Amino acid sequence: MKKRFLIAGNWKMNKTVAETRAFFKTLQPLLTPTVRSELLICPSLVSLAAAFEANASVGISLGAQNVYPKDSGAFTGEVSPLMLKEFVSYVLVGHSERRTLLHESDAFINEKLHALLATGLKPVLCVGETLAERKEGRVFDVIACELEAGLKGVTNEQLSQVTIAYEPIWAIGTGETATPETAEEMHAFMHDWLTKRFEISSVSKVRLLYGGSLKVDNAKQLLSQPHIDGGLIGGASLKADSFVEIARIADGIEKDI
């Protein structure tokens, strides 16, 4: 099966409900003619219902930025996969900001991933190294460890529901982007790693996204790389026009993904 590019926006802690509605209003006319790439927006939890309603006439994919790995119960402030399923099809897990600021462990991330799969939601597992880890020459070890721990216990069948985002921490929100060669090297490594552990028929369904200061100016070079199947975009996803422009750049790339 031929994959489509996945152009995903992670809004992080940005946009009120009113701003979310305004985004979808601006987005709608920009999607004519039709965009071929799959578009995904992950708003904040409080904006999910508004995004869901506003998206009824737009029809892109929606995702959440976080989840708690239980169906219900005494978990103050948390949101379950079942609750999210009413609004979204994708959920981010293991974003470096949550690993660092909220001290989320690999084991907890793996628990979330399994809870999502059990509920029929599609996890987007984020991995990435710090600048220090890269300088110390540990980048492949770090990514392999995050993949190993994040995907622990995942079956071949389940893997086909998973998306993986490589987001070098030093490139997130810094304006600094991995060069296309560096990004491709990491994506090829992740692809090889997956093929050693899973059946190729499942691996071929997994989209590998690049994230870290991906924007209109560098989208063509990055998305043209053989193992890059889309982007996880922070800053440039907040404006409908740059978000759609990146998707149109992806549409223009001749590549069998």
Nearer to ligand 13P, 69 or 211 (CB): 211
- C-alpha span between 251 and 249 (Å, rounded): 5
In the set 219, 228, 233, 257, which binds ligand 13P (CB under 6 A)? 233
In the set 59, 120, 173, 252, which binds ligand 13P (CB under 6 A)? 173
Minimal distance in Å, beta carbon 24 to ligand 13P? 20
In the set 67, 88, 117, 214, which binds ligand 13P (CB under 6 A)? 214
- Among candidate residues 97, 129, 146, 167, the one labeled active-site is 167
The CA angle 116-117-123, to the nearest 5 degrees, is 60
235 binds ligand 13P (CB under 6 A): yes
Stretch that binds ligand 13P, among 22-30, 77-85, 139-147, 210-218 (CB under 6 A): 210-218
249 binds ligand 13P (CB under 6 A): no
186 binds ligand 13P (CB under 6 A): no
Minimal distance in Å, beta carbon 66 to ligand 13P? 12
Q: Smallest Cα–Cα separation from 150: which of 206, 207, 93? A: 93
Task: Using CB atoms within 10 Å of the CB of residue 48, give its burial: 0 to 12 exposed, 13 to 18 middle, 19+ buried.
Answer: buried
Binding residues with ligand 13P: total (CB under 6 A): 14
- Among candidate residues 38, 95, 184, 227, the one labeled active-site is 95
Whether 250 contacts 219, CB under 8 Å: yes
Whether 193 contacts 232, CB under 8 Å: no
191 is catalytic: no
Question: Quick one: tokens of 9?
Answer: 């926006």
What angle separates helix 139-150 from helix 106-119, to the nearest 10 degrees?
40
172 binds ligand 13P (CB under 6 A): yes
Whether 124 contacts 232, CB under 8 Å: yes
Minimal distance in Å, beta carbon 129 to ligand 13P? 14
Residue where the block lists tokens 């759609």:
244
- 3 state SS of 10: strand
237 — phi, psi (to 5°)? Answer: -95, -5
- C-alpha span between 82 and 21 (Å, rounded): 24
95 is catalytic: yes
Stretch that binds ligand 13P, among 20-28, 190-198, 217-225, 228-236 (CB under 6 A): 228-236
- C-alpha span between 6 and 80 (Å, rounded): 25
Nearer to ligand 13P, 9 or 81 (CB): 9
Stretch that binds ligand 13P, among 23-31, 51-59, 147-155, 205-213 (CB under 6 A): 205-213
Binding site for ligand 13P (CB under 6 A): 10, 95, 167, 172-173, 211-214, 232-236
